[in-house]
Amino acid sequence: MHNIRQIPLFAKLDDASIDKLREISSVHSYNVKEILFYEGDAPIYMYILLSGTLRLYKTNFKGAQIFLHTFRPINLVAELANFESMPYPASAEFSTKGEVMRIDYKKLEENFFKNPDISISIIKSLAAKLKIMSEVITNEVVLTSEGKIAKFLFENEKLFNELKQTQIAALLNITPETLSRTLGKFKKQKIIDSNAANEINIINKDLLSELFS
């Protein structure tokens, strides 16, 4: 069983509060590909991701998924929908097995929001999400495909060779073809090269970083 005090948000609660919290919350397990909530659903619970990874995405007019972010534990998920009493702005799907703590939001608000430790945690969580959103906007609106690829490569050189190109393309919301062609271009420009095992190496980090920014 999870110890509630391991959740930073609740770390400093006294015993009575923890008991109260147990009353209004429960823990649920999910399997790979199960959906925690869909974009447009009305929120009742506030979710805290306890284990596993959760993939957040929006769906566009033709049904394609636009990847936004993957959450790792321990993290509040989509608290915005709770605070603003609005439908979830995106869908969340488990990309591994995982668990969430599910809390009756109304009761949480009534009982715990006066607590300054909790409100500071919430501020931090909101600020972190705002930062994520700001990066999503940079990636999806400001940068071209070339810029997105350059940025991802620059920031995740090691990860790049651990993932398949199809997976990277999905993270960047581009097609594998575009990724392949762009990498070919980078090789021609001597920004990167690849060895026999087809692993990619950055040769000119400065040139690479000029492509986004």
Helix axes 145-155, 176-188, angle to 10 degrees: 70
Write down the least CB distance from residue 97 to a second copy, Å. 28
Write down the least CB distance from residue 189 to a second copy, Å. 17
Binding-site partner at residue 27 among DNA, a second copy, none, CB < 5 to 8 Å by type: none
| H-type alpha helices, 43-144 | 79-83, 105-112, 116-137
Piece in contact with a second copy (CB under 8 A), picked from 18-26, 43-51, 136-144, 197-205: 136-144
DSSP 211: T
Among 26, 144, 189, 201, binds DNA (CB under 7 A): 144
User: Is residue 42 a contact residue for a second copy (CB under 8 A)?
Assistant: no
Pair 131, 84: CB distance under 8 Å: no
Whether the link from the prior residue into 74 is cis, omega within 30° of 0, is yes
Binding-site partner at residue 128 among DNA, a second copy, none, CB < 5 to 8 Å by type: a second copy
Site for DNA in 30-89 (CB under 7 A): 62, 64
User: Is residue 131 a contact residue for a second copy (CB under 8 A)?
Assistant: yes
- Per DSSP bridges, beta strands 35-37 and 54-59 are unpaired
Piece in contact with DNA (CB under 7 A), picked from 25-33, 49-57, 98-106, 143-151: 143-151
Place of tokens 């350059």: 150
Among 145, 156, 204, 209, binds DNA (CB under 7 A): 145
Distance between start and end Cα atoms, the chain: 45
For residue 123, give Cα distances in angstroms to 1, 31, 134, 203: 27, 30, 16, 41
User: Is residue 92 a contact residue for a second copy (CB under 8 A)?
Assistant: no
Rounded Cα distance between 199 and 162, Å, is 9
User: Is residue 189 a contact residue for DNA (CB under 7 A)?
Assistant: no
Binding stretches for a second copy (CB under 8 A): 58-61, 66, 68, 79-80, 83-84, 86, 89-90, 113-114, 116, 119-120, 122-124, 126-131, 133-134, 136-138, 140-144, 147, 173, 212-213
